[in-house]
Amino acid sequence: MQGRDTRIMALQRIFVGIDVSKDWLDLWLEPPKRFERVSNDAAGWAAILGLLNALGAAAGLVVAFEATGGYERGLRQVLLEAGFEVRRLNPLRVRLYAKSLGRNAKNDRIDARVIARYAEAADTMPETLDPARERLAELVAHRRRLIAERVALGNQTAMLGCRLLQTQNRKRLALIARGRRSARSPACLPSSSCSRRSRASRTSPPSPCSLCCPSSVASPAAPSPPWSVWPPSITTAAS
């Protein structure tokens, strides 16, 4: 009897698929079996919350969409803060699933419906709000892009015959090197990760990440604090 109740509860879950693009969000709402399109901005996110709340209790809803490289970030945060269960899916796996269903055509409506069906069929993990982890993942992704660009520019510079272009590439490589150091700076990491420092940085505080954290850049007139006023935990870790 208990197992039967569990299966019944599983059947009552509602899966909503959202196809995310830069400007638009296309929804497939399963119970009414209809499509909706809203803008991918604050007004559109509010409209989605209204549509989802009209379907019933938030505990029974699962909202799924593909990872699109950042276009889904605002929607994801709004849904999680509203208490909905969110699944962020691998686009390649969703596309392979669509092909297995014979859905070779690609448009926003088909994608939204396939996303909902895949989320229901696949064993995917729900998303959680973890700002520190998301911040660290963003920094890692940014550093990987810088490294890839550095390798490409280095290979290109070796093949160039024009000294002007070589000089421009070397300047860009120097800027990338500074960006990589900034991405490792504790000023760019979550506060819980700032307790470790290298011995080489004992004489001065870490430089802020001017590339990806403009708000953390200190005023040029502001003096750097002496090492003696830094927290004891930092000096202990450094020594």
* Closest residue by Cα to residue 74 from 65, 35, 51, 141: 65
Sheet holding 85-89, edge to edge: 34-39, 24-29, 14-20, 61-66, 85-89
pLDDT tens digit string along 64-103?
A: 999 988 899 999 999 999 999 999 999 999 999 988 888 7
Cα separation, 74 vs 43, in Å, equals 11
For residue 201, give both structure tokens. Answer: 């940085």
- In this prediction, residues 7-31 reach a mean pLDDT of 81
In eight-state DSSP terms, residue 203 is: T
Taking only the tens place, the pLDDT of each residue in 47-71 is: 999 999 888 766 688 999 999 888 9
The SS3 assignment for 38 reads: strand
What residue segments make up the domains of the chain, in order of their start?
12-121, 130-197
Model pLDDT for residues 209-222, shown as the tens digit of each residue:
444 444 444 444 44
- Distance in angstroms (rounded) separating the CA atoms of residues 27 and 143: 34
Give this prediction's pTM. Answer: 0.61
Topology given in CATH for the domain delimited by 12-121: Nucleotidyltransferase; domain 5 (3.30.420)
Tell which phi-psi region holds residue 182, choosing left (phi > 0), alpha (psi between -120 and 50) or beta. Answer: alpha
Cα distance between residue 212 and residue 143, in whole Å: 11
